[in-house]
Amino acid sequence: MRMLTLTLTQRLFRLRSALFVLPVIYLSGCGVEDDVQPSDSQTWTNSIGRRLPDDAAPPDQQRFRYMFREPSTLDISVAAYEADGTYFAFERLVLLDENNELVPAAADRWASSEDGRTWTFHLREGAQWSDGRDVTAHDFEYSFRRMLDPASGNIYAFLYYVIKNGRAFNQGELTDVEQVGIRAVDDLTFQIETEGPCPYLPYIVSFITSSPVPRWQVEKFGATWTEPEHCVSNFTYRLAEWNTGSDMKFTLDPNYNGPHKALLEEIIVKFIGAQRPGTLPYENGEVDAYRLDPIDYERVLQDSELVQEIHRMPEFTTWYLFFQTRQPPFDDARVRRAIARAIDRTVLSSTVLNDLAIPAYSMLPPGFPGYSAEQFKASQTYDPDEARRLMAEAGYPDGRGFPKTEFWLRVADTGINRIAGEAVQAMLRETLGIELEIRYQQRNIFNENLFQWQIPMGMLVFVYDYPDPSNMLGLLWRSQPRGYARHDWLHAEFDDLLDRANSHMDPAVRYDQYARAERILAEEAGAVFLFHPVITELRKPYLRGIKQDRDGRVVPIISIQTVNFTEMYIARH
């Protein structure tokens, strides 16, 4: 078996080297022009009255640019996938800081009832929308009801099923929105009532899809309300320009009076297509930062200057394989377990992905609250002999009789998923003798088929929404009807454990129940877990104010979960 493993490793290394990789975030900014030579002792105040750090460049040079695919809307509260990449315009009730802890935002304080079923949020006085209107609890009432309205088409509505009658309203069993546990008590008091005790409700309202929307603009302009001439927002930045096919610009909003006033004058999002430019723009000084892919990383490690500008950080993200578990051959848990045992995650992470990932054996990443995979990782550990035994026991010795199966990958994730997907395809062919036909699908086609459970086998990534097991376990794997959940895997004991954990107020009891549920998910191979990415960025030394967590680890520059961009600035250099 040793000889077989080495042969496969060499083959996968060549595969990785030949493939094109993920066009993820690339960040670019503006340093100080060569003809500007400010005094080292001179400081400035930006356009909203915030004093810049002593080493900062002048306000007119506080412009930060990064590259991302063009969104089709900024209406992220009901169109999460279409609006990703732009997180600066809408302030939620609460936010997460660099330590994934809750901090005040639109609400300056909040509390739950003794039974944990009613959460009350007290909004900040004097808050205004970018058009000068007051931000009120009625805006949040309208927005949260809209998130659950089936007419909105919100595929993230399941996030809010903990709200009283939220599931029934969203799935059409209830039509009276007044019976949903969402209400404005008065202009500055917003209240959410949940189905049962819900200790993690503040985390849910911190997530980006819990952004408020301006009712008067939505009702007047419909789907075009986020166009520049109509867009009204309530955070530290407002949309200033949207040049289709080129870029969009966000500028500081002078109406914002909250605790997260930013330093940068402008954030500019330059749109990119499927092809990434490599490290050349970074090396030429055209961009401030660049997220490395496996091939980039291998080369940068050999550069004595660039290697000094590398920053690595773990990410609460999991890549996994999923199946139509109610259809042959994947309705047989032995087949799924065989696939779990046939994948060498160490080779996948270290050789194929060039150390830009760590092996995954279950859903929760190391360091995530409630992580306990070390107790049961053996159920998905690489063991080719056991994999072949399980496949033979299921009736497919050496792959004979196993149907040729479509293996779906999402084009929007092209890069890391292409490398890993083709490596997985090779491993399963080598170890089990089964043939997978890779199909690359556009994001909208992939997602539509995903929620209709029409994908025989696929590979996906899930980035945590908030730091609680109810998110990465409950929201993704707790069974729901077709059309309301990603996956069809169903296990009654798993669901029961999740439901009990989700409504218990004692963290120790909750985490124990989540761990028992996660063990079932791993042992039954409801999914096959592959790896957790390690974000690896090049950053120019003049890019300052990037936060670190309490353990000294740098955090991502632009994060969908945490509010890290407000302290970032361009230093003199």
> Are residues 57 and 106 located together in one domain of the fold?
no
Provide the phi-psi class of 251: left if phi over 0, else alpha when psi is between -120 and 50, else beta: beta
DSSP-derived secondary structure for 367-427: TSTT--GGGTGGGGS--HHHHHHHHHHTT-GGGTTPPPEEEEEEGGGTTHHHHHHHHHHHH
> Are residues 353 and 424 located together in one domain of the fold?
yes
Pick from 16-20, 51-55, 197-201, 212-216: least confident: 16-20
> Which pLDDT value is given to residue 8?
44
Domain membership of residue 428 (yes or no) is yes
> Are residues 545 and 476 located together in one domain of the fold?
no
> Which pLDDT value is given to residue 116?
92
Return all residues near 38 (Cβ < 8 A) that are at least 6 apart: 32, 57, 58, 572
| 462 and 318 Cβ atoms separated by less than 8 Å | yes
Whole-angstrom distance, CA of residue 410 vs CA of residue 443 = 6
> Are residues 240 and 170 located together in one domain of the fold?
no
On average, the pLDDT of the chain sits at 89
Q: Is 352 helix (H, G, I), strand (E, B) or coil?
A: helix
Domain membership of residue 175 (yes or no) is yes
pLDDT (mean) for 373-397: 95
Q: Could you give the number of structural domains in the chain?
A: 3
Looking at residue 437, its amino acid is E
Which comes out higher in pLDDT, residue 314 or 55?
Answer: 55
Whole-angstrom distance, CA of residue 405 vs CA of residue 104 = 49
Before 481, cis peptide (omega within 30)? no
Domain membership of residue 88 (yes or no) is no
The kind and range of the H/E element at 12 are helix 2-18
> Which pLDDT value is given to residue 167?
95
Residue 9 has pLDDT above 50, yes or no: no
Domain membership of residue 87 (yes or no) is no
Residue 30 has pLDDT above 70, yes or no: no
Backbone angles phi, psi at 121, to 5 degrees: -115, 125
> Which pLDDT value is given to residue 107?
98
pLDDT (mean) for 314-332: 95
Residue 16 has pLDDT above 50, yes or no: no
> Are residues 379 and 330 located together in one domain of the fold?
yes
Whole-angstrom distance, CA of residue 200 vs CA of residue 505 = 9
CATH number of 41's domain: 3.40.190.10
> Which pLDDT value is given to residue 21?
34
Q: Is 212 helix (H, G, I), strand (E, B) or coil?
A: coil
Domain membership of residue 85 (yes or no) is no
| 463 and 413 Cβ atoms separated by less than 8 Å | no
pLDDT digits (tens, 9 = 90+) for 102-145: 999 999 999 999 999 999 999 999 999 999 999 999 999 999 99
Domain membership of residue 406 (yes or no) is yes
Confidence of residue 7 (pLDDT cuts 50, 70, 90): very low
* Helix axis angle, 492-502 to 507-523, nearest 10°: 160
> Are residues 272 and 373 located together in one domain of the fold?
no
Task: Record the tokens describing residue 121, joined without a space.
Answer: 């949020």
Which comes out higher in pLDDT, residue 73 or 417?
Answer: 73
Which comes out higher in pLDDT, residue 137 or 550?
Answer: 137
> Which pLDDT value is given to residue 554?
78
Pick from 75-89, 342-356, 429-443: least confident: 75-89
Which comes out higher in pLDDT, residue 284 or 526?
Answer: 526
> Are residues 124 and 235 located together in one domain of the fold?
no
| 541 and 397 Cβ atoms separated by less than 8 Å | no
pLDDT digits (tens, 9 = 90+) for 38-71: 555 678 999 999 999 999 999 999 998 887 888 9
Domain membership of residue 86 (yes or no) is no
Return all residues near 492 (Cβ < 8 A) that are at least 6 apart: none
Residue 185 has pLDDT above 90, yes or no: yes
> Which pLDDT value is given to residue 553?
79
Which comes out higher in pLDDT, residue 444 or 95?
Answer: 95
Confidence of residue 555 (pLDDT cuts 50, 70, 90): confident
> Which pLDDT value is given to residue 20?
32
Whole-angstrom distance, CA of residue 481 vs CA of residue 488 = 8
CATH number of 195's domain: 3.90.76.10
Q: Is 559 helix (H, G, I), strand (E, B) or coil?
A: coil
> Are residues 387 and 527 located together in one domain of the fold?
yes
Task: Record the tokens describing residue 391, joined without a space.
Answer: 């496949």
Task: Record the tokens describing residue 450, joined without a space.
Answer: 């995903």
> Which pLDDT value is given to residue 483?
85
Domain of residue 483 covers 2-22+314-533
**Closest-CA residue to 215 (of 134, 307, 106, 150):** 134
Residue 299 has pLDDT above 50, yes or no: yes
pLDDT (mean) for 74-90: 87
> Are residues 215 and 228 located together in one domain of the fold?
no
CATH number of 323's domain: 3.10.105.10
pLDDT (mean) for 457-472: 93
Pick from 36-45, 63-72, 229-238, 296-305: least confident: 36-45
| 46 and 57 Cβ atoms separated by less than 8 Å | no
Domain membership of residue 477 (yes or no) is yes
Residue 495 has pLDDT above 50, yes or no: yes
Q: CB 397: neighbour CB atoms within 10 A?
A: 15
Confidence of residue 562 (pLDDT cuts 50, 70, 90): confident
> Are residues 234 and 338 located together in one domain of the fold?
no
Of the three residues 177, 200, 219, the one that is the final residue of a domain is 219
Residue 419 has pLDDT above 80, yes or no: yes
Of the three residues 194, 219, 244, the one that is the final residue of a domain is 219
> Are residues 506 and 381 located together in one domain of the fold?
yes
Of the three residues 179, 198, 219, the one that is the final residue of a domain is 219
DSSP-derived secondary structure for 213-252: --HHHHHHHGGGTTSTTT----SSEEEEEEETTTEEEEEE
> Are residues 352 and 495 located together in one domain of the fold?
yes
